[in-house]
Structure 1
Amino acid sequence: MDLVWRIAQVIIPVFLIVALGYVYTRKRHPDYGWFNRIMLDVLTPLLVYTALAGKDFHLAEHTRLLAGGAILILVTGAIAWPLARMSHTDPRTLVPVVMFTNCGNMGLPLALLAFGQQGFAAAVALFSISNVIHFSLGARITSAHASTRDLLLSPLMISSALGFASAATGVRPPDVIFTGMRMLGEAMLPLMLFALGARLTQLKREDIPRGLLGAFARPVIGLAIALPLAYVLQLEGIARGQLLLFAALPPAVMQFLLAERYQQEPERVAAMILLGNALAVVSVPIGLALSL
């Protein structure tokens, strides 16, 4: 019962905010264009930088976890490729959906609630590593014509590079400036969940059949790899929990933006991502049960 209560304490606040975003969007139909742009260009980069550059984050303590996250992404992609062939699905559509988790919108708030501030910075580091791979290799898998240079020069990638540099050198802005940056960045956590709820309004009944493959493959393959990988890397405690939660997360919302940008079956990608995030009510508690 204690474990069930701990899981409930983590997921109830998260899904409450997602539900609020869903209900509000269904009733009001707001235009989120400016909202999404501010989140992507300002709030998310500040969240990433301040978490990585904070005095409570020590890069050397998380090298095995970050290596585990990178290995997990690459191995899931390698397994998803033959799965796409066997299911007669375009690999450029399915593989990135299975490779990359929603470690931003859903993963960061979950990590903060599950592991506290001590584990949150490590979750942001995993988020950054995932984005680096997503905006380089992931973009090239999605489209042979993807401009990796433009993606890697985005505010999010620059803030990740600066954050890791600050973590390695200890050089960061004065506390009076850093505090303001952190306040803005932390506002991103509930907004991410609210935005996820807004996106779920786009899920249609006819999208369910074509979205099931990616929706289920993402957490199932991820956990099947993460469990032995955590043992091989000798991850324990919070580090092991972080990797398993990372593996259990649904597909990354960001992949829909890439699929739409390069016209790689965006409707099918959207179905996989939205259905996967809706089914997170099942996969996330499983991941937390293995993590806590």
Structure 2
Amino acid sequence: MTLLDGLTLYLRMAALLLPVVACASVGSFWAWKKKPFPGEFISVLAANFATPALVFHTLLSTPLSGQALLQAGAATVLGFVLAGAMAALALRLLKLPVLALLPAAVLPNAGNLGLPMAQLAFGAEGLAIAVAAFAITSMVQHTVAVWILSRSSPQRTCMPRGVVFAVAAAVALRWSGLSVPAPVLESARLVGSMTVPLMLLSLGYALVTVSHGGLRQGAWLGSIRLAAGTLSGLLVGLLMGLPPMAAGVMLIQLAMPVAVASYLYADRLTPHGETAAGGVLVSTLALLVLSPGLLWLAGAVKG
């Protein structure tokens, strides 16, 4: 890779991250002005309404076949299992709370970063595979991860079931071959489009109020996420014998930084929201620096 190629890649990555930074900056400005922030309202709205609509629309509009969706879903789950084992060991060695931080250390930002990066590296076909991984990630994020976090806190909460129902409905419709009326799909797309902005507003607000201790522990958390994700992404392609493109896409998806939704749930259900916010910030900035190497590695896996 020449210097010009590297500079061009960095500029393209900066363009991908600019909307993320712009949206989070609105939340940061709100915190800087010391305005009241409806954190619980936003987290409930994102988890119970916006994300299920996004997953429903994504699964019904993807051009991938059922077999390709199943393969991508299985690879994603295996990747989470491998990353979970590595992350749990690392958190325990660092004497950080395992249950409270495990979802943040395992689950990647597969949506607003993983999808455009997969498209950048592999085009429309790669994006379609990444969408399937994103759907599984969303379902795990809003079900299994919430259950794990609730076990780490005396504050019990009802698990949001919207994503489970959305996935079940979308799979049933695809299997039956029934068509969904265009107004229904458009409604799901519109409601789902709120997901990322809501999460980024909350993150921006949290980053202004995060303590220095949260940033220090967040740096460890972000490092675990990137390392465990990259290793699990490489292992998944080898263990499952994935086709070259699928292996490259899964590496990108699993190597993404800490998900913003992980911060939202950690802040709502545990006393470690600041650590999760620091993890999002540190791992996202690190991704910007390391992204050319990641894209090169994904291309090498693809062959």
Q: TM-score surpassing 0.5? A: yes
Aligned to 1:63: 70
1:131 aligns with 2:138: yes
Choose from 144, 159, 171 the match for 1:151: 159
1:131/1:44 CA distance change after superposition, 3 Å: closer
Does the CA contact (< 8 Å) of 1:139 and 1:148 recur in 2? no
Instruction: Write out aligned runs for 1:55-134 (5 A).
Output: 56-134=63-141
Gaps of 5+ in 1: none
Q: Which of these residues, 23, 37, 52, is aligned with residue 21 of structure 1? A: 23
Distance, in Å, in 2 between the alignment partners of 1:168 and 1:90 is 41
Secondary structure of the equivalent of 2:159? helix
**Structure 2 CA distance for partners of 1:167 and 1:284, relative to 1, 3 Å:** farther
Q: Is the 2:55–2:135 Cα contact (8 Å) retained in structure 1?
A: yes
Work out which of the residue numbers 251, 255, 258 in structure 2 matches 1:244.
251
Structure 2: gaps spanning 5 or more residues: none
1:276 paired with 2:276, answer no
User: In the aligned structure 2, how far is the partner of 1:238 from the partner of 1:181?
Assistant: 32
> How far did residue 239 of structure 1 move?
1.2
1:184 aligns with 2:190: yes
CA distance in structure 1 between the partners assigned to 2:89 and 2:149 by the alignment? 16
Gap change, CA 1:234 and 1:192, over 3 Å in 2: farther
Matched to 2:64, the amino acid is F
Q: Deviations over 1:115-156 (max 9, x none)?
A: 4443334323212222333334323332327899942522x3
3-state DSSP of counterpart to 1:62? helix
- What is the CA distance between 1:193 and its match in structure 2? 8.4
CA contact (8 A) 2:108 2:259 kept: yes
Q: State the match for 2:231 in structure 1.
A: 224
Q: Which AA in structure 2 matches 1:291?
A: A
Instruction: Describe the superposition over 1:221-266 as per-residue Cα deviations: whole angstroms up to 9, x where unpaired.
Output: 1111221320222223431222111121111222223223322433
- Give yes or no for the alignment of 1:52 onto 2:54: no
TM-score by length of 1: 0.81
Distance, in Å, in 1 between the alignment partners of 2:226 and 2:285 is: 13
What is the CA–CA distance in structure 2 between the aligned matches of 1:173 and 1:148, rounded to whole Å? 36
Q: Any conservation in 1 of the 2:53–2:191 contact (CA below 8 Å)?
A: yes
Deviates more, 1:282-291 or 1:5-14: 5-14
User: In structure 2, do the counterparts of structure 1 residues 189 and 25 end up closer, same or farther at CA, with 3 Å as the change threshold?
Assistant: closer
CA distance in 2, matches of 1:76, 1:220: 9
Contact 1:219 1:283 in 2 (8 A): no
Tell me how far 1:216 sits from its aligned partner.
0.4
Q: Kindly indicate whether residue 237 of structure 2 is the aligned counterpart of residue 235 of structure 1.
A: no
Identity of aligned residues (%): 22
Among candidates 242, 246, 258, match of residue 265 of structure 2: 258
Measured in 2, the distance between the counterparts of 1:287 and 1:10 equals 14
The alpha carbon displacement at 1:10 in A equals: 4.7
Residue 171 to residue 256, structure 1, CA distance change in 2 (3 Å): same
Aligned to 1:207: 214
Q: Which amino acid aligns with 1:74?
A: V
> What's the C-alpha RMSD, in Å, of the aligned pairs?
3.4
Q: What is the Cα deviation at residue 171 of structure 1?
A: 2.0
- Residue correspondences, number: 290
SS across alignment from 1:165: helix
1:20 alignment partner AA:
A
Q: Which deviates more, 186-195 or 117-126?
A: 186-195
Following superposition, the deviation at residue 7 of structure 1 comes to: 3.9
The corresponding residue for 2:14 is: 12
Are the aligned partners of 1:108 and 1:189 in contact in 2 as well (CA < 8 Å)? Answer: no
Shift of 1:163: 2.0
CA separation in 1, counterparts of 2:145 and 2:183?
34
